[in-house]
Amino acid sequence: MKPVTFPNAPTWLLAAVCLLTATAPEARAQSGWLPTSWFSQAEVDSKAMYPLAERDGPWLVLATTFRGEGARDDARRLVQELRRTNKIKAYTHEKSFDYTGSQPGLGLNPDGSPKKMRYANAEQVVEVAVLVGDFASFDDPRGQKMLAKVKSLRPEALTGNSGKSQSFSDFRKMIGLERTAGKGPMHLAFVIPNPLLPEDYFARQQVDRFVLDMNADVTHSLLDCPGLYSVRVATFTGSGTFDQKAIAAGEGDVELEGRLVEAAEKAHRLTASLRKAGWEAWEYHDRESSIVCIGSLDSKTVPGAQGVPTIHPEITRIVRELGPDPTRLATGVVLPRTVDGVMLDVQPAPIQVPRAPEGWH
């Protein structure tokens, strides 16, 4: 395989590319801001559970759940098969339920004390979920494609005569799935948020530790922008039409990695060029793209005539000078501008500046 090279890449990016192209697969690991999910998986450890971490996701496919005695071993067997045979990044997530203690009941006793109740089957139960990820949003096309794939799989860990999971079978019976025929054993898979993330994670404009690490070494990071808003002028993604031959040969992840690194390099180069030209430019990288923004604003509007809000003049200036050529636009031709050979977005747009959660250092 030919290495990915970027002649004009900055030092911090070259170091990351070296990890991607020159290091043995089993030795690859996160370095700088590049996330481990960009790199090919190491050899599957036959004893590893691959527990879910907060930095995984933030959205994943819940493939199935094991319950009761043997759940851990069954989950481990399935995760290892998905990773080794299907080349899928799978994780386990364990939860314990204690039904042995007393529980608050309804109403009061004759003496006025609260009623206590006990479960009919006093036991401690372990459930181990098997999840597949990592996806940026609920409707991430990659996640929806993986969901369809997981539903159709028939892993040996669940269907083989010698390896069929007893705890999986018991769980199927408990929720009435034994009557389902003609479908894969994981046909009820669905997309869920990472259960380890804070409850308010999806309700706030903040980023998680994983993305923070990706931007830690960036000189002009959007995370350092003091304003509430900035104007996005360029977007570079790792998605696109991939080489089907490379995917068939198991090299699809490497191609995606190359696209993501190239997107990051373009964003970094564009930020430097815009700064040199006098623009207050910022760059930002997440799990699937890199963007470049300009400006630091506390609001998107300003008071206008008779108190009617109007678009902030700085936004208007950025769109006018870095948006499509207005002369060509008047003739119906949308021609994005380029800076240092890098094409900008067709429509610059204000966005909220992402923030690190309070107390995360």
> How far apart, in whole angstroms, are the C-alpha atoms of residue 351 and residue 14?
29
Torsion sign across C-alpha atoms 11, 224, 259, 189: positive
Token pair listed for 9: 């890449």
Residue 90's pLDDT band, with cuts at 50, 70 and 90, is very high
Amino acid at 18: C
Average pLDDT over residues 61-76: 89
Q: What is the CA radius of gyration of the chain?
A: 26
Q: Measuring CA to CA, which residue among 50, 96, 76, 57 is closest to residue 168?
A: 76
Q: Of the given ranges (80-84, 178-182, 212-216), which has the lowest mean pLDDT? A: 178-182
CA 341 to chain centre: 30
Task: State the pLDDT at residue 307.
Answer: 73
The DSSP bridge partners found for residue 64 are: 130
Per-residue pLDDT of 96-142, as tens digits, reads 765 556 556 666 667 767 766 654 555 567 889 999 988 877 888 88
> How far apart, in whole angstroms, are the C-alpha atoms of residue 254 and residue 19?
12
List of residues 6+ apart from 361 with CB closer than 8 A: none
Residue 234 has pLDDT above 90, yes or no: yes
Task: State the pLDDT at residue 244.
Answer: 41
Q: Measuring CA to CA, which residue among 236, 227, 338 is closest to residue 280?
A: 227
Which one is predicted more confidently, 77 or 305? 77
Residue 330 has pLDDT above 80, yes or no: no
Residue 314 has pLDDT above 80, yes or no: yes
Tell me if the bond preceding 313 is cis, omega within 30° of 0: no
Task: State the pLDDT at residue 237.
Answer: 85
Query: Which secondary-structure segment (H or E) carries 250?
Result: none
Q: Of the given ranges (81-85, 306-310, 337-341), which has the lowest mean pLDDT? A: 306-310
Residue 233 has pLDDT above 60, yes or no: yes
Per-residue pLDDT of 195-228, as tens digits, reads 887 665 665 555 777 788 889 889 999 999 999 8
Q: Of the given ranges (8-12, 59-63, 196-200, 298-302), which has the lowest mean pLDDT? A: 8-12
Q: Measuring CA to CA, which residue among 154, 129, 158, 157 is closest to residue 61?
A: 129
The DSSP bridge partners found for residue 319 are: none
> How far apart, in whole angstroms, are the C-alpha atoms of residue 210 and residue 287?
9
Residue 2 has pLDDT above 80, yes or no: no
Residue 299's pLDDT band, with cuts at 50, 70 and 90, is confident
Token pair listed for 83: 């990773």
The DSSP bridge partners found for residue 51 are: 92
> How far apart, in whole angstroms, are the C-alpha atoms of residue 282 and residue 29?
27
Q: Measuring CA to CA, which residue among 232, 233, 254 is closest to residue 242?
A: 254
Token pair listed for 242: 């991939």
Which one is predicted more confidently, 258 or 317? 317
What DSSP string runs through 60-89?
Answer: EEEEEEEESTTHHHHHHHHHHHHHHTS---
Q: Measuring CA to CA, which residue among 216, 256, 226, 222 is closest to residue 239?
A: 256
Q: Are 233 and 293 in contact (CB under 8 A)?
A: yes
> How far apart, in whole angstroms, are the C-alpha atoms of residue 85 and residue 148?
17
Q: Write down the mean pLDDT value for the chain.
A: 75
| Neighbour count for residue 210 (Cβ, 10 Å) | 20
| Neighbour count for residue 115 (Cβ, 10 Å) | 12
Record the pTM: 0.46
Token pair listed for 231: 């104007």
Which one is predicted more confidently, 170 or 324? 324
Q: Name the residue ranges covered by the structural domains of the chain.
A: 59-193, 205-352
Which one is predicted more confidently, 334 or 293? 293
